[in-house]
Structure 1
Amino acid sequence: MDRLEYDDPILHPKEDEIAKLRNVKIYDGDAKSATFENGELIATSHRLVYVQSGSSHGLSLRLHYLVYVEEEKSSGFGFSRSKKLLLHLSEPLPGKPPGPVDRSSCSFIRLSFKDGYDSSFPNNLSAALQKKKWETAPITSTSLPEAPPLVQLPGRQLRAGIVGIERQIQAKHKATDDSISLAFEDLNKLMSMAKDMVLLSKSISDKIKEKQGEISDDETVQFKSYLLSLGIDDPVTRDNSRSESQYHQNLARQISSALQDQIKEIGGMMTLPEAYCRVNRARGLELLSPEDMLKACQIMASLGLPVTLKVFDSGVKVLHLSTHNDQNIIKTTAEAVSILENKLKNNFSICVALD
Structure 2
Amino acid sequence: MGMYRIKFDAGTLLLSTHRLIWRDQKNHECCMAIPLSQIVFIEEQAAGIGKRRLFVEQSSTKISFSFQAFEDLSKLMIKAKEMVELSRSIANKIKEKQGDVTEDEERGGIMSLTEVYCLVNRARGMELLSPEDLVNACKMLEALKLPLRLRVFDSGVMVIELQSHKEEEMVASALETVSEKGSLTSEEFAKLVGMSVLLAKERLLLAEKMGHLCRDDSVEGLRFYPNLFMTQS
Say whether the fold is shared (TM-score over 0.5): no
TM class by shorter chain equals 0.3 to 0.5
Higher strand share: 2
Question: Normalized against structure 1, the TM-score is what?
Answer: 0.25
Task: Please say which structure displays the higher CA radius of gyration.
Answer: 1
Between 1 and 2, higher relative CO (CA 8 Å, sep ≥ 6) is seen in 2
Question: Normalized against structure 2, the TM-score is what?
Answer: 0.37
